Each structure stands twice: as structure tokens, then as C-alpha cells.
Structure 1
Amino acid sequence: MKALRFAEFGPPDVMSVVETPAPNAGPGRIRIAVRAAGVSPADWKIRAGAAPVPLPRIPGLDAAGIVDQVGEDVHGYQVGDEVFGIAPGGACAEHAVLTHFAHKPPAMSWPEAAGLPSAAEAALRAIEALRPAAGDVLLIHGAAGGIGQAAAQFARARGVLVAGVAAPEHHDRLRALGVAPVAFGPALADRLHTLVPDGIDCVFDTSGTVTDELLALAGAPDRLVTVAPPGATGALHLSESPRRAWHALPEAAGLFERGDFHLPIAHTFPLTQASEAHRLGESGGDHLALLLD
């Protein structure tokens, strides 16, 4: 099969399209003919050498496609089903094996499905760690990215009120999700007080930047979850959560079918232009996907 691969860590140009044997579905897994693969910050960080992974490696964790192999002990899925999910062995290839997956709603595009799994899982894991009740106010710091948008929609589905910190050019997008937008910058607490006079109940930081102001807004360390690496920030670190929220995938699919969940893809690229996709992502572009024939 054709697959994107890199044999050394480095800039985007270390990746190239090669021929490699197709994987097979094992017990509890399915194999798909990939139609689209998501491109997330984790992908370019791994490619650059931020994580100790074995080489050579096929990049990509998120994939969507058509089931062509069903492993033992898999129930409710059959060859021909349209699905999306997590491909630990690499998503950027003609075939990928999924370990966690859900049926793709018919109206959901392949790129949107491919961009959903990791963002949805991280978002719901944060929501479940914070446990906001209906009527509580959740502040999402960095609300315009994929994880932030997913968290906002999961929270809204639970009756939680959401305020989102984002650059002004993204505020209309947040309003469309039912999120009250607020700009980044100094004196955030003052702007929030005008927007939410009764205060914030919990905070989800998707930017990886935990400030004293965010901690003060949260009110207690266990009311602030961050995607930042573990360290002395005084907050809960998402990577330290003991349980993954893989049920986020079918929940997101169900909300999509109700019209309550969307993670649009900003740009798509063919597999042969994966380096350009990584460069765009590293420069600040968000929510990208690679398309396979």
C-alpha cells in the first residue's frame, strides 16, 4: 500500500510517500480503506521528535474510511461500514487499523470525520474531569481550535454555559456554537466580569498556558484542566487523566446527527502534500486533513 512515512525526526520534508505492506486487523480491531486522515498538533510534534516513538513511522492518529477487515471479538461492525477512529499504527496510508472507532454519520464528510477522534476524546476527557453541572459556566481558554470547539459542544449538550477565549477573528464561529466569546490579552478577568457577572465555575485551557489569572478565575486547582505537559502549574493536566474518553466518538456522532456537533476542516491536502499540511499546522493553522483516493 502507499503510505506516508518518516525514518528520522526533523522538519516536514523528512516525510515521503512509500510502498509498505498493509496491516491486518487483530482481535478487537478493524481495518479500513482510508478516505481521509486528520492532521493534528500531536502529529507534527511527534515528527519533529518531541516524543520517543520507534522509527520508521507512519504519521497520523485520526482516520476515517470504509471497513475492509473485521477482527475477532468486534461486534456491530461489518465490511463496507463507514467509520472513523484512532489508528495508533498510523493513519496516513491507504489502509489503517483502528483500535477505537464509531460509525460515521452519512451526512458527515470524510475530512470532518477524520479530524474528529483525538479532539473529541481530549475534549470530553476534560469535561468529565471538571464535571460541570447544568447551568455552570465553563471558560475555555483557546476555544477556537479543534479541542476547544469540541469541548464547547459537549458542554453545551450537558446544559453548561460556555465562555470562550479566542482571537477576535474567530468570535463569530464561537457565537454560532452558542459560546460567549472574549478576546485574549491582559485584564481577561475584567472582560469576563462584564460578560459573566456571577463568575466562572471551571476552566479548560487548550492553549497550554496556565497563568495566575486563569487559576484565580477557576477558584481552585481542581477546577482548571490544561493540555500543558505535567508540571508545577497548580492545575490538572489532561495527560495525567487515568481514563481515556473513547465514548466521545459515538457521542459526537450522535450529536452530529441531531445537528449539535460540527468540527469543520479548514484545509485539505492530498497525501503527496503532507509536508505542506504540517508546515501550515506548525505556523498556526488548525484542523487540517489529508485526502486519500
Structure 2
Amino acid sequence: MAVLGALPPGVRCRPIREADREGVVDCLCRGFPERDRSYWIQALSRLSQRPPVAEFPQYGLALEKADRIVGVVLTLYTSYPGQQGDEVRCNLSSWSVDAEFRPYGAKLVTTILKRRDVTYTNISPAPATLKANWALGFRPFTTGLFAFLPAFSPGISHSSALRSCRVLEARSDLAEMAMLSDGERYILSEHAALGCLSLICICNGAAFPFVLMPRRIWRGLIPCYQVIYCRSLADLSRCAGAMGRFLLRSGILLCVVDAKESIAGLFGWYRHNRGLKYFKGPRPPSLGDLTFTELVIFGP
């Protein structure tokens, strides 16, 4: 059972510092032997380039014993502008604790979870940690994945106006970028720099932003795009046909998006209990919003 009380003498929980990089990578390699060391080196490098959010840690927290890193949890904090002030979201990732100190591993997470004004997410929980997630108050904000063929999706409406939607790849010099909010322009530009496909769909004089991430699913056999950002699943359905025709240029037929059921207007199938993702806090992320999470920053 996880120990939530005081740590034993000589063991302390503290923010990860820049000088800890090698020790953190060593610990993560021990905890995730299936990952190459270069994966974690890139992960920490990208975390170092993220803009700091208030007083929150840049990298996450570590358990330390005699100047040796024996436990790690990485944190990806992002501030989103909202109608009632900025909303802070934290994606918890890569929870790894050496076997000898595993009873104290929950201390890493409970220390982070003290802020009630922050929404915390866990988008890739290991099966062995699910009971701990529930005990810590995490609940699913998605119950499965919806795989769909956008080029064959009729959308919510069959009007000729919607069939004539055009799709553009987002660029800083694109005039249509001005049709989006500052926050959406930032999301599109930052995710494009991280290797995602950032798109703007223009329909009936309105602009709809989307971010898609290239993936390979079903044991790496099938290329597809995962929806990283859309304003709503209704917008995704509205623009799916136009996006699908755009994606056909690169030979991609399939997309996947987090969902709780089949999505009206999209031609595809819902897979229950696939890709479950969890949250704790005042506001769960919208379905179709995985912006600035480990999936994008670290890679699949």
C-alpha cells in the first residue's frame, strides 16, 4: 500500500532541478525499460523549453535519497485563458519509483495534487496504477476512442455550403490566422513546431482550428492522425469531410479522437475502454483537447 505520511529519514521529495537531468533520466530508464534513453533526454529538453507557469515546477518532482534520484513524476503545466481568468492544467506523466522506495511513491503525486484550482490529467495510466489513481480522486473524462474515416463522413449537414469548405495548413503568415483567437493561434503554431499538423477549416465565413498528430496504431501497422485539438466534436463532424479530402493528399484515411460514444456525422466505430484518460480538479478537458500533454511534448 502507498504510504501517504512522512517520508523516512534521509528521503526527501523536492522539485526537479536542471542539475538533476542525468539522475532523472537514469530513474526513468529503470522504470520504463521499453523506452530508449534518447526519448527521456528529448522529453526533459522539451520541458526545459516550455514557458514557466507561475510558481509551478518546470519539470516535476523527485524523490531523493543520499543525493540519488530514486523516484520521479514529470509535470506539464499549461495556462489557458478563460472567461473567469486563466485556467491552469497539469498533465502528470512518467511516474517512476525504484522498487525499494515504491511504498513512498504516492508522496510525489499527493504533493503535486494539493492545489484545488488546478485541473490534473493522467492520459496514459499504467494498469498497475489505476487503483491508486481512483484513490487519489482521478476520474475518467473519456471512456473510449472513436476511429473514423473523415473523407467518408457526411457531417451534421449536407448543405452545399458545408461541402465547399476549404482546409488550409496553418502558417504564421496565413491571413486566415487572424480569424482565430490569440490562444488558438498559439496552440496551432506551437503544435506545428512539435511535429503536429495544424489546420484551419473555413466554412461559411467562419474559421475552425484543428491540430492532428501523426500516429501508428494497431501494433504500428496502420498510419492515422489523432485529434489533439478541436473546439468541439460538433466542429470536428462539421469539417470532417473537407479535412478528409485534404488528408487524402498524404494518403491518410483514418483518424482517432477521444469519445464517450459514437459521434454524429462521423463515419466510424467506437471502441469502449480504449485509451482511457483521467482528470482531477475543477474542470475536465473537453473531448478532443490533448494540447500540451505528454503525447505531444514527449511523443507517443
TM-score tier, shorter chain, comes to under 0.3
Q: Which has the larger radius of gyration?
A: 2
More strand per residue? 2
TM-score, normalised relative to structure 2? 0.26
